[in-house]
Amino acid sequence: MKFLLALALGVAGACLLAPSAASAQASRTWVSGVGDDANPCSRTAPCKTFAGAISKTVAAGEIDCIDPGGFGALTITKSIAIKCDYDAEAGVLVSGTNGFVVQGSATDIIWISGLDFEGLGAASQNLSLNGIKIISAAMVTVSDCTIRGFTNGNTTDGNGIFLSNTGTTKLFVDNTLIGDNSNVGVEVKPGGGATANVEIYNTRSTNNTTGYRANGTGGAAAITMGVINSEASHNGGAGVNSTSGAGPATVTIAHSSLSFNNVAVAGGGSATSNLRVGYSLITGNNAVFGASGGANVFTYGNNEIDGNVNNTPPGPTNLH
């Protein structure tokens, strides 16, 4: 009898002492350049990588950076905030792969802030895929980041941010520098039947093939994009491009600078591709506007257009 009682107490005590998977996760975790992924990722015992920290962070929790470090590539499969907005330089340096891949549920909300994504690529090298690739999530916010050097010889990868969502996704990019990528600074190319709503604010996309593109050729149901108070410069193709496919692709550009691109604003695909430009500076480009396949480029008539090789817009409709 005493043996059975002792056994029962021992089992109960073990159950009380053994942490559950949920209790092992924290609402806030930390990474450090001198951390260790064997740690609990607390403020006093931080982890070394984002991958180590996310496994110990609850859904909708937050990962913060204590000090500078290279915190590695990451696949995000749940709501999370990764914030390194302090004096610490948070690096994501990768070769031959994506920096971050977002592949959450249709209700997940992702925040990525204060990170430096480096793809290690020069113009002649094929070293990387994309800085941030978004496959599925309800909303992704990218702010205060630098994304550069993602180069690849194929026509799909080599983007700073690549939204290739399969459902309905909202993307907000704020105060971010994107440059030296072999394809597009921000490429929005949803899959068949998917919808993307994108706002780009206070962001600079420079020295890519294209600055910003709403690309409907993947079969998207609809794409809407706003480029506001932002810059597209020194891109080898278009500063901003809209190409419709199965559904419409609509881009509105306001209070922005489009300079030293091959063409400032270009549309293609069909008549469901629409670009509207207002209160923007357009200078130093080879061409101002370009449209093919029935695409429409509209100007509100209040842009500053000067200093281009050809200052005459090729027949856009003026809106007032």
Give the start-to-end residue ranges of the domains of the chain. 92-318
The residues near 60 (Cβ < 8 Å, ≥ 6 apart) are: 78, 79, 80, 109
Kindly tell me if the per-residue pLDDT of 243 is higher than 90.
Answer: yes
What pLDDT is stored for residue 186 in this prediction? 98
Residue 101: band (very low, low, confident or very high) from pLDDT cuts 50, 70, 90:
very high
Query: Tens digits of per-residue pLDDT, 183-204?
Result: 999 999 999 999 999 999 999 9
Residues paired with residue 65 on neighbouring β-strands, in sequence order: 31
Residue 2 has pLDDT above 90, yes or no: no
pLDDT tops 70 at residue 117 = yes
Looking at residue 155, what is its pLDDT? 84
Q: Which of 156, 186, 189 is nearest to 172 (CA)?
A: 186
Query: 3-class SS at 18?
Result: coil
Q: Is 261 helix (H, G, I), strand (E, B) or coil?
A: coil
273-299 per-position pLDDT tens digit: 999 999 999 999 999 999 899 999 998
Assigned token pair, 185: 């600074």
Picking from 109, 29, 101, 44, the residue whose alpha carbon sits closest to that of residue 72 is 101
For residue 250, the model assigns a pLDDT of: 97
CA distance 97 to 99: 7
How far is 218 from 273, CA to CA, in rounded Å? Answer: 14
- pLDDT score recorded for residue 89: 80
Q: What is the mean pLDDT of residues 139-146?
A: 97
- When pLDDT is cut at 50, 70 and 90, the band that residue 24 belongs to is confident
Query: Distance (Å, rounded) from C-alpha 196 to C-alpha 216?
Result: 10
pLDDT reading at 124 higher than 80: no
Tell me what pLDDT residue 122 has: 59
Enumerate the β-bridge partners of residue 289: 265
Q: Is the pLDDT of residue 137 over 80?
A: yes
Higher-pLDDT residue of 318, 165: 165
What average pLDDT score do residues 69-97 get?
91
Instruction: Calculate mean pLDDT across residues 111-117.
Output: 97
